[in-house]
């Protein structure tokens, strides 16, 4: 049964990889991230269409501001806007239009007083009152308000992505005839086929982990990190990923799995079309969970299978576990440094739009190594250890120790 579970997890991982790649191509082609961000900016500017009767809209003025215009990629909308850039662009636009005596956040309260009544004016007045006349506090409050709205935008994008991946998963399942029930039945009745697929899954996991470790070591040695924000670079990586996935599916077809269409398969589906629809639906739902979910499950299953595999011959006497060569040896001198205390618990997972929609596992791994974490600590996940390492770096740079990644922070860490 373990081989059957590994085989199904392998198929779901490959389908999810195809679905994620196709979604990424659609998102890049339709500029979905930029449009959702624009929608979030519009919600921030509720009640204000333009600062003057015949002038351009406030949203257009903000996007035309040099702070935000520099984030464009040609004619494409920015897919990510730092809170500091938004706050500066808003303050400069309002202060310049209403001709305040002082620049930026020092003159912003006077500019807000001259604005016509709107939801934006009322929210800015509340932030001014909260800052108690401190321009720096006003800037921080505007940035915090922007981040809270961007969290909601991130939720919009995640829901949109989930539905799109479900639909794409169904389309791929039907197009390739990947019926979960038929696959499970065939694997359960053919132990040799399940074993062959489990061995192929083990090879795939080793290959993926080796590629991830190689990329991490390349970044640690000073090589260029993958571009995290360039849409063209992301599309190129997706195309390479889809090509590799197609090669894996071709290997599965060589095992004579019930994948793909033939007249025999068509007759079989028409005889029990309702069961086939349920099998396709299950495949689509599984694919919508995402490739990282299934790769993690596949890695765990493969590890369990490897640990439970019988060893031929007499087992050697147990000995001390070898120290990995990439980790420093434990100190042996009397003046050795005391052990590092356990890090406090902290937030895990993505906290903002940049972390949830831009950073990939490889990007996070590269950032962890650049922050000084060891290979064993660099998990590719935004865990408390990573947050604490980022806070230490931020304090060293004289920045607010938020423990959150944004685009300027990530680029400053990777390219010091």
Q: Which two tokens stand for residue 52?
A: 């003057």
pLDDT digits (tens, 9 = 90+) for 61-97: 888 899 888 888 777 888 888 888 999 999 999 999 8
How many Å apart are CA 217 and CA 235, to the nearest integer? Answer: 23
The answer to whether residues 19 and 222 touch, using CB atoms and an 8 Å cutoff, is no
Residue 66, token pair as written in the block: 């040099």
pLDDT at 259: 79
Contacts of 347 (CB under 8 A, 6+ apart): 382, 384, 387, 403
CA-to-CA distance for 323 and 263, rounded, in angstroms?
Answer: 56
Cα distance between residue 183 and residue 181, in whole Å: 5
Asked whether the whole model's pTM tops 0.75, one would answer: no
Helix, strand or coil, per DSSP, at residue 57: strand
**What per-residue confidence (pLDDT) applies to 351?**
72
pLDDT at 209: 74
Question: What pLDDT is recorded for position 50?
Answer: 57
Residue 262: exposure state from Cβ atoms within 10 A (0-12, 13-18, ≥19): exposed
> Each residue of 221-236: b (16+ CB within 10 Å) or e?
eeeebbebbebeebbe
Buried b vs exposed e over 399-415: b needs ≥16 C-beta within 10 Å? eeeebbbbbebbeebbe
Instruction: Please state, for a pLDDT cut of 70, what percent of the chain lies above it.
Output: 72
pLDDT of residue 230: 53
- How confident is the model over 170-219, as pLDDT tens digits? 999 999 888 898 888 888 888 888 888 888 888 888 877 777 666 666 65
Q: Collapsing DSSP states into helix, strand and coil, what is residue 274?
A: helix
Q: What is the DSSP letter of 377?
A: T
Check if the beta carbon of residue 68 is closer than 8 Å to that of residue 76.
no
pLDDT at res. 142: 92
Angle subtended at Cα 350 by Cα 148 and Cα 42, rounded to the nearest 5 degrees: 35
Where do the H-state alpha helices sit in 255-290?
Answer: 263-271, 273-288
Task: Give the span between the Cα atoms of 174 and 280, in whole angstroms.
Answer: 6
Ranges of the chain with pLDDT below 50: 225, 227-229, 310-346
Looking at residue 300, its pLDDT comes to 85
User: What confidence score (pLDDT) does residue 128 get?
Assistant: 92
pLDDT number for residue 216: 62
Q: How many residues does the chain have?
A: 416
What tokens were used for 365? Answer: 């791994």
């Amino acid at each position: 049964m373990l081989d059957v579970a590994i085989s199904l997890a392998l198929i779901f991982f490959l389908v999810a990889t195809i679905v994620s790649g196709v979604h990424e191509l659609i998102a890049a082609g339709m500029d979905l991230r930029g449009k959702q961000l624009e929608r979030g900016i519009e919600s921030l500017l509720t009640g204000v269409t333009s600062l003057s009767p015949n002038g351009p809209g406030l949203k257009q003025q903000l996007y035309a501001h040099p702070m935000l215009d520099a984030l464009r990629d040609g004619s494409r909308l920015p897919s990510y806007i730092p809170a500091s850039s938004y706050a500066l662009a808003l303050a400069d636009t309002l202060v310049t239009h209403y001709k305040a005596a002082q620049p930026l956040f020092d003159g912003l309260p006077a500019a807000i007083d001259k604005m016509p009544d709107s939801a934006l004016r009322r929210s800015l007045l509340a932030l001014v009152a909260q800052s108690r006349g401190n321009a720096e506090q006003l800037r921080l409050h505007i940035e915090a308000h922007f981040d809270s709205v961007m969290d909601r935008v991130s939720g919009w994008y995640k829901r949109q992505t989930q539905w799109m991946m479900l639909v794409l998963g169904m389309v791929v399942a039907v197009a390739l005839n990947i019926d979960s029930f038929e696959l499970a039945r065939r694997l359960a009745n053919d132990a040799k086929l399940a074993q062959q697929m489990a061995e192929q899954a083990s090879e795939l996991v080793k290959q993926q982990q080796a590629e991830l470790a190689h990329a991490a070591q390349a970044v640690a040695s000073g090589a260029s990190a993958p571009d995290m924000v360039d849409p063209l670079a992301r599309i190129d990586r997706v195309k390479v990923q889809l090509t590799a996935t197609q090669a894996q599916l071709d290997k599965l077809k060589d095992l004579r799995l019930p994948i793909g269409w033939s007249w025999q398969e068509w007759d079989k589906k028409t005889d029990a079309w309702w069961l086939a629809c349920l099998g396709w639906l299950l495949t689509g739902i599984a694919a919508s969970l995402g490739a990282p979910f299934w790769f993690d499950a596949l890695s765990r299953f493969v590890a369990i299978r490897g640990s439970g595999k019988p060893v031929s011959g007499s087992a050697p006497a147990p000995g001390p576990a070898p120290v990995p060569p990439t980790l420093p040896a434990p100190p042996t001198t009397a003046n050795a440094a005391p052990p590092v205390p356990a890090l406090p618990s902290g937030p895990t997972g993505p906290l903002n739009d940049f972390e949830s929609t831009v950073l990939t596992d490889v990007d996070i791994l590269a950032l962890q190594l650049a922050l000084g974490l060891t290979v064993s600590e660099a998990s590719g996940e935004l865990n408390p250890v990573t947050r604490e390492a980022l806070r230490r770096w931020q304090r060293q740079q004289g920045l607010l120790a938020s423990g959150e990644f944004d685009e300027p922070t990530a680029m400053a860490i990777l390219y010091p």
